[in-house]
Structure 1
């Protein structure tokens, strides 16, 4: 049995040149892929984007800025309101710039989701079945 944790959050999306608009973020975590959290962002039944995030990076983003590539996370506080800001850089545009979307999630909700994942696989206890993975790769050829 591979325990799975799911959580759906209402988050705020800000795309290039727009204000914030609410979308759903479906977060999932499974013991069979212990390092990753899948985030699926949707609106009106349509998937807007799907990202695989590093679980440790997601946790670290709640306390300080992390990421230098396509995904960058950092905490944002406005008074007592705490958010996790997630910057996602997408495909290149014809002018050489890249698509850029920012998602703001309520930080305590993300922290609660992460606590649930830690109950499934504690931080530092993640294991990858390397022998099984290699056997699958070699048998595919």
Structure 2
């Protein structure tokens, strides 16, 4: 496999979204990792973004939102600046994707199986192919919500 994300013809799903459950490994210390239940989510209504819910066993998971393109590029090489960075694993971590999240309290490195992330991205492509995101945006609705003082983005 070349590591490229397969192009899938556009298809409509009933819920217009997809998700995949992940068992992320958190690198606590060299040689010591902990398991964190997580989920990657995508909604066609928010076509540029992916949602990473961690600690899905909690009543309210911790959610990070970042660009689908950042995740896709991170399968092939280093991607992202600032609070979210993604890169492929190397050496003994080959077959993994390393996601670094940085917040006020510091940084954490999450290790996800690359094949699961690749399959998730292929599912997002079936909903909204890369390059066709703009056609899925409801710019009039967004402008209306902003002018009315409402939320800029539809709910999860």
Q: TM-score normalised to the size of structure 1?
A: 0.85
Counterparts of 1:76 and 1:103, CA distance in 2: 11
Q: Cα deviations across residues 46-68 of structure 1 (Å, max 9, x unaligned)?
A: 25631002101100000000111
Q: Which aligned segments of 4 or more residues in structure 1 are displaced greater than 3 angstroms?
A: 15-18
Structure 1 residue matching 2:124: 3-state secondary structure? helix
Higher strand share: 1
Deviation of 1:15 (Å) = 4.2
**2:88 touches 2:94 (CA, 8 Å); kept in 1?**
no
Change in 2 beyond 3 A, CA 1:15/1:100 = farther
Change in 2 beyond 3 A, CA 1:113/1:16 = same
Aligned to 2:117: 110
**1:15 touches 1:100 (CA, 8 Å); kept in 2?**
no
Range 18-27 or range 98-107, more displaced:
18-27
Deviation of 1:131 (Å) = 1.6
Residue 29 in 1 paired to residue 42 in 2? Answer: yes
Structure with the larger RCO, 1 or 2 (CA within 8 Å, 6+ apart): 2
Counterparts of 1:15 and 1:39, CA distance in 2: 19
1:1-141 matches, within 5 Å, as: 2-15=15-28, 19-42=32-55, 45-46=57-58, 49-78=62-91, 81-91=94-104, 98-127=105-134, 128-140=137-149
Provide structure 1 residue ranges, at least 5 long, that are not aligned to the other structure.
92-97
Structure 1 residue matching 2:148: 3-state secondary structure? helix
Provide structure 2 residue ranges, at least 5 long, that are not aligned to the other structure.
1-13, 151-156
Deviation of 1:118 (Å) = 0.3
Cα RMSD, aligned residues only = 2.3
Q: How many residues align?
A: 134
